[in-house]
Chain A
């Protein structure tokens, strides 16, 4: 009894001292805080880190230009571990602890969906530049969630157009087994059949997110003998598919959402594994516009490397958000929401317009093929990007499934 009592006594002391034990976070009221939920550890750390670099660079540019509404933008990195429960738990803590009103993130639509619900409950803003599942601005939309970036619909439509133009008939599909993967494939198949009813899907494979062994899936694809393979895979799931699949005899060209990833291409170690593969994205360093060339040069001068893919996307999204805050003239969440709806941003990747009906930015897509010789890297990388206008891949408001405010 005596021993148990001691434990109880210590417990009571812990309760009393808790407020002293847990330190209060440094309150810097003169900054606009932006929480960034990215996987900063684990398998997808590389993806999260590059997105974060883009956000930090945007904050740096804003702060060097006098800040936002006269205040500095403070970036608060949050390691989501690519787990929705972890991301929301940590985000809720910084909302309560540091009064953070704005969040962004680019990795994992599952994280995005959970963050979207949290944003709605807590009346904060969550925006994404890389969580692409169309449903997030479709049937699961809400007024506190914005997507200044691409969606599975837009991307899949752009890729379907490219595949039809190239004349491919037999299509193999491989995707990650979660909402993003399924929605990407559904949109792709829908558009493909619209454009070419004779096209056939000869394989449709779903694998767990973060798969290490692609041999069984590569075998299935090889057996199906497709003309071309469509995959919305990203990060290591794309690297390992190519690295393990090509030596096994996977010859068909791969058309992917995220082919313009220099880290992935370099880690392949052999350009031949990817030469000729194609992709469609909302940002590529090879976009041939004057604004982009200036941005790429400045970024390279400041950071010592190119704003490829993720860095460019997160940079543009944060700059777009900053425009909305500027227009609102306040950090009041409701006023920023109103200001962002219908707002247009002229950035390195063309003109982006935030649609009020679903909070999905209408953006042009850029397609390119992997070539050996390029001005950016010694290894293979994307060739000149070709624009697919936003209008060509637009999903009309009444077809998104979004019932904003209902």
Chain B
């Protein structure tokens, strides 16, 4: 067990190292794309904590992402001289507040009711963002200028693509590692067990509503952080950030990578953004192809790319690898 954890830490360190060296090997637009992949990966990971871990199918995750994105942008526009730290903090704080309010209203429902209510709330947030144009810019959106980092007398310019990439890698990378750590805490495991047998957990004395609310707020905060980086990266935010399309996007990312493992959605984000970039260069009808890929994944590989990867060792060792439990997050797969 100790060896396994050390190996995980080693792989995380290698990923950070590879990420740190990437700008030396890549062109500027590829670095910009990698930045996008990193914050969308956090968004997908946060979504998977709800879907894969807690078994809560949400169609409203974009309300957190959009809240973070808009809060970061509005704060930069309305509070002159605000530091990037305060800006990000405000975005996460607002996402937490939204998570608390919406979560306390939603989490007593389950299944289809929960899914539909999340959709309804997302639509509500979308309408607010559209109509409250004096603050959000409505259909026109908001253009912002990314502030620099000031630590004491030291100022780090974030206007460049590479410098912002490193900032994203460090902050969002740490947030993803924290999400991974969260799944190993007692709280993370409780959520998993609630999904498996809520009645039993109630019987054992756990307040399952509170546990799910905490997870809902936590995933909302993570999505809000991703949203803040979305605004800072593009230096622009529009109602697309809070639309149901943004939830569909994260659903696709999670499904393509696989909701059965923690790292699947990260892989899904990577593949999704690169494939989308390819397809949109080739054809204006790229959403059609993305839709077909999604249908294919759901019908043929419900476990996503991570399921295929998991089967590779089985193929070499002669085992099928398709065992019960492969398609859901279990204690083994979350590691």
- Name A's B-contacting residues (CB within 8 A): 1-12, 14-16, 18-19, 21-22, 24, 40-41, 79, 83-86, 88-90, 92-93, 96-97, 109-110, 113-114, 117-118, 121, 177-179, 208-209
- Chain B contact surface mostly: helix
Say yes or no: A85 contacts B141, CB within 8 Å: yes
Minimum CB–CB distance for B121 against chain A, Å: 20
What residues of chain A lie closer than 8 Å to B306, measured between beta carbons? 3, 7
What residues of chain A lie closer than 8 Å to B32, measured between beta carbons? 92-93, 96
Nearest to B264 among chain A residues (CB) is: A7
Minimum CB–CB distance for A166 against chain B, Å: 32
Say yes or no: A11 contacts B267, CB within 8 Å: yes
Say yes or no: A15 contacts B274, CB within 8 Å: no
Say yes or no: B27 contacts A21, CB within 8 Å: no
Nearest to B145 among chain A residues (CB) is: A121
What residues of chain B lie closer than 8 Å to A12, measured between beta carbons? 11, 14-15, 18
Identify the stretch in B46-54, B56-64, B90-98, B232-240 within 8 Å (CB) of chain A at 4 or more residues: B232-240
Say yes or no: A110 contacts B22, CB within 8 Å: no
Nearest to A133 among chain B residues (CB) is: B140
CA separation between A359 and B253, bound complex, in Å? 43
Instruction: Return the contact of A7 from the options B12, B18, B261 (Cβ within 8 A).
Output: B261
CA separation between A318 and B299, bound complex, in Å? 49
**A19-B25, A93-B29, A96-B29 are contacts. A14–B333 as well, Cβ < 8 Å?**
no
Say yes or no: B309 contacts A10, CB within 8 Å: yes
CA separation between A40 and B283, bound complex, in Å? 10
Say yes or no: B138 contacts A4, CB within 8 Å: no
Say yes or no: B240 contacts A109, CB within 8 Å: no
Contact with A along B274-286 (1 / 0, CB 8 A): 1001101000110
Instruction: Return the contact of B313 from the options A6, A18, A93 (Cβ within 8 A).
Output: A6
What residues of chain A lie closer than 8 Å to B262, measured between beta carbons? 4
CA separation between A79 and B286, bound complex, in Å? 11
CA separation between A340 and B26, bound complex, in Å? 36
Tally of contact residues, B, Cβ under 8 A? 60
- Known A1-B8, A4-B335, A85-B238; 19 more pairs at CB < 8 Å: A6-B312, A8-B8, A10-B267, A10-B305, A11-B266, A12-B11, A15-B15, A15-B22, A16-B18, A84-B236, A92-B32, A96-B28, A96-B32, A117-B235, A117-B236, A121-B145, A121-B235, A177-B138, A208-B130
| Total number of residue pairs linking A and B with CB closer than 8 Å | 143
CA separation between A84 and B236, bound complex, in Å? 8
- Name B's A-contacting residues (CB within 8 A): 4, 7-8, 11-12, 14-15, 18-19, 22, 25-30, 32-34, 130, 133, 138-141, 143, 145, 161, 234-238, 240-241, 261-264, 266-267, 270-271, 274, 277-278, 280, 284-285, 287, 305-306, 309-310, 312-313, 332-335
What residues of chain A lie closer than 8 Å to B285, measured between beta carbons? 41
Minimum CB–CB distance for A149 against chain B, Å: 19
Q: Which of B32, B141, B145 has the most CB of A within 10 A?
A: B141
**A3-B261, A3-B310 are contacts. A19–B143 as well, Cβ < 8 Å?**
no
Say yes or no: B141 contacts A8, CB within 8 Å: no
CA separation between A110 and B143, bound complex, in Å? 11
Minimum CB–CB distance for B99 against chain A, Å: 24
Say yes or no: B30 contacts A18, CB within 8 Å: yes
Say yes or no: B277 contacts A22, CB within 8 Å: yes
Instruction: Return the contact of B274 from the options A22, A88, A90 (Cβ within 8 A).
Output: A22
Say yes or no: A79 contacts B284, CB within 8 Å: yes
